[in-house]
Homo-oligomer: A and B are copies of this chain.
Amino acid sequence: MTALTLLPGTPDPDRLARAWLSVRSEPGDPKVNGLVCEVGAEAAVVRLAAGRVPGGTVAPVRPDPDPRATATAVLDDAARRGLRWACPGDDDWPTALDDLGYAGEVSGRGGAPHGLWVRGALPLAPMTASSVAVVGARASTEYGNEVAGDIAADLAEAGVTVISGAAYGIDAAAHRGALAVRGPTVAVLACGADVTYPRGHDTLLARIADQGLVVSEAPPGDHPTKVRFLARNRLIAALASAVLVVEAAWRSGALNTLNWAGSLHRPALAVPGPVTSALSAGVHHAIRERRADLVTSGADVREALTPLGSPVVEGASGWGRGERRPDDGLDRVARALLEALPATGAIRAAAAAAAAGTTEPEALRVLGALLATGLVERTGDGWRFAGRRGGLPGGAGPRTLPR
């Protein structure tokens, strides 16, 4: 049986196969991920669906007589839940996640995700290209919340996306700091991207999905488990350009995320606190052991993103990383809106919507998000394009982050 016989006539069989893997295997299952690395997603589905499951998988993979039907149903169900499926090969797939493949080989844990379920309209790669994971204790102190919120706001204002886990405490303070300045933020969940967890963060998650993205590799509708929290931490570290821990007790999950940053060669950063606070003990230990560098402010964090003083572009759109074009990875509506905006002068959102073939509310939502990426600017007269098509945004070339 070949991949083509498994999913005949499918326009993108790899995509379908990855969706099947996402709902039929556990996030970060090293055996399943290793099999995908070895034989590819489709061939892996052929074997797993036929019951030929590698030994030592995290959870059983049930045989499936018709994986194509299963995968198609999963995608349909996800769409009804307001989720889209992003996976390797997509224009907006964050190549930073490829690093997990290598880290997985080394450590025997994790590996790259099959894909991510995404709630929110913004493109994934540009939103995470210049980003900092801000994580920490759930039972955080007022001090920790204040510092996490301030640093997140500073980063988001500079166009650096704030990634976190939407948990109580430091995670929520970080997301809120970014939301408060209408900056970019991404929540990575251990449950389905459509599931409200924790329950109290219903409104917060809705705001993040509106202004940024809520993503997860867990199946739509599923609930979090311990192994999924650990698998989620690796995604937060891999998606981010750097990981910052604000408060962490001696055995905090945030330190797990910090260690992933080290394995992935991301800057690992930590905010100190009073030595009399148990919630800073884990942070201080990490700094003492040189597993994290001490930072005190958003400026310190931004400096860590350019450790050699190389010029980087502000904004979440990722051109600091290479020869990406300004509109790489944007969805159809966003691209059409960018095409519709003038580089000098400005047009109203209604005119941009008409030119882009979308509604005015949709245009306003996408333009608001593009504002956070630095690709567009809002003037008194409406909206204008702030990048230079086909080159670096911002007109006069790369800007250095403020020191």
Contact = CB atoms under 8 A, between A and B. Distances in A.
B275 A296 contact: yes
Interface string A273-286: 11110001100100
Interface residues of A, number: 20
A137 to B, nearest CB: 15
B288 A300 contact: yes
B287 A147 contact: no
B288 A294 contact: yes
A143 B280 CA distance: 14
Copies of this protein, total: 2
Contacts of A275: 147, 271-273, 296-297
A255 interface: no
Nearest to A277: B274
Contacts of A146: 276
Interface in A291-348: 293-297, 300
Nearest to A141: B274
Contact of A294 (B143, B271, B272, B276): B272
A296 B271 contact: no
Given A275-B296, A284-B294, A287-B294, 14 more contacts: A143-B276, A146-B276, A272-B272, A272-B273, A272-B275, A272-B280, A272-B284, A275-B297, A287-B287, A288-B293, A288-B294, A288-B295, A288-B296, A294-B294
